[in-house]
Amino acid sequence: MKKILHRVSGAKIGTTLVLLALVAIWSTPTVGLLITSLRTQDSAANSGWWTAIADPLNTAWSIEPYVNAIEGGMLSALLNTLIVTIPATVLPLIIAANAAYAFTFIQFKGREIYFASLVGLMVLPLQSALFPVLKGFVWFKKTFGIELIGNFPAAWIVHSAFALPLAIYILRNYMLTIPPSLLEAARMDGASYYQIFWKLVMPMSIPAIASFAIFQFLWVWNDYLIAFIFVGEQKPVMTWKLMRMLGQYGGGWQDVAAGSFLSLIIPLLVFFALQRYFVRGLTAGAVK
C-alpha cells in the first residue's frame, strides 16, 4: 500500500486523471457486455445495462445466456479456434526469426533490396490474394492429391504467409540493437551460426517475439474471413459460431453477448501474460 501511495503522490494529478478517464472509456464496452450477458432477456430488452449498475439489487440476473452459448457449441468452437490460432502464431515466428537473423547478421548480395521488397508486401491487402491462393490450393490437390481446403493447415499457411513481412520487420529491428561484439565473441569461442541463433539471439529477442505474438494471436483469434473460407463451417471457429448464434433476425443477441465475453478470456490472459514485453519489443530499434 505504501508503494502505491508513493507512486500516486509522485505522479502528476492531471496525467493520472487523463489516464483514468481513458481507462474508463475503453473499459465501458466490456463492462456493458458483461452486464448484458448476465441479465435476463426481458430485463435487458426493457432497460439499458447502466441501469443495472445504478440498482443492482432490483435487477434480474441470470446465467442462462452462458448456458445457451455453451450448449450452442462455443466450447467446440473454442477448441477449433485454438487449433487455428496457436500454429498460425508459432509458425510465422519460427520462420521470421530465422529470416530476421539472416537479414541482420549474415552478409549476402542484395540483402537490403530483398528486405525492402519484403517490407513492401505489408501493404498487400489480404482480400486481393484470396482467389490466387485458392487456385494454388486446388492445383496442389490435383498435383499431390492432398486436400488443404476445409482443413486447419490451409488457415495456418495463409495466416503465416501474410504475417511474415510484419514479423520479420519487427524482429529485425530488434535484433539490430544486439551488440555485434557479443556475436563476435561467440564465434571466437567456436559457436556456429545456429548455436548463436538459438542460444544468444533468440533469448535476447524475447520482447520482440512476445510483441509480435500478441499481435498475431489477437489477429488470428478474431479472424472470420480466413477461417470461414479455408476451413469452413464443418470446423467452425468462435467468430463463425457467434454469427450463427445471432440468428437471421438478430434475436439471439444476448447469447452473443455471453459468447463474446467467453471469447475475450483467452486473449486477455495472453495479453496480460506478455504485456511486460510489449512496449520494449515495439520501441526497440526505433531510432536505428
Contact 224, 239 (CB under 8 A): yes
Q: Mean pLDDT across the stretch 217-233?
A: 89
> How many C-beta atoms lie closer than 10 Å to residue 252's C-beta?
21
Cα–Cα distance for residue pair 190/172, rounded to 1 Å: 24
Question: By three-state DSSP, how is residue 205 classified?
Answer: coil
In eight-state DSSP terms, residue 58 is T
In degrees and rounded to multiples of 5, residue 176 shows phi and psi of: -65, -20
- The position carrying cell 445504478 is 54
**Which stretches does DSSP call E strand in 53-198?**
none
Question: By three-state DSSP, how is residue 272 classified?
Answer: helix
**Cα torsion 253, 257, 262, 268: sign:** positive
Q: What is the pLDDT of residue 1?
A: 47
Q: What is the pTM of this model?
A: 0.81
| pLDDT at residue 24 tops 80 | yes
Q: Which amino acid is at 256?
A: V
Q: Which amino acid is at 228?
A: F
User: Residue 217 burial by CB count (10 A; 0-12/13-18/19+): exposed, middle or buried?
Assistant: buried
Q: Which three cell numbers stand for residue 167?
A: 514479423
36-45, 138-147, 235-244, range with the lowest pLDDT: 36-45
Superfamily classification of domain 63-283:
MetI-like (1.10.3720.10)
Q: Mean pLDDT across the stretch 122-144?
A: 86
Q: What is the pLDDT of residue 149?
A: 87
| pLDDT at residue 220 tops 90 | yes
**Cα torsion 248, 249, 252, 257: sign:** positive
Task: CATH 1.10.3720.10 in the chain: give the residue spans.
Answer: 63-283
41-45, 159-163, 201-205, range with the lowest pLDDT: 41-45
| pLDDT at residue 287 tops 50 | no
Determine which helix (DSSP H) or strand (DSSP E) holds 280, and give its type and residue range: helix 253-283
CA distances from 33 to 10, 56, 139, 255 (A): 35, 16, 45, 11
What are the tens digits of pLDDT across the range 26-81?
888 888 888 888 887 777 777 777 887 877 777 778 888 888 888 888 888 999 99
What are the tens digits of pLDDT across the range 167-184?
999 899 888 888 888 888
Q: Mean pLDDT across the stretch 215-235?
A: 88
Q: What is the pLDDT of residue 159?
A: 92
Q: What is the pLDDT of residue 129?
A: 84
Classify the phi-psi angles of 151: left when phi > 0, otherwise alpha if psi is within -120 to 50, otherwise beta: beta
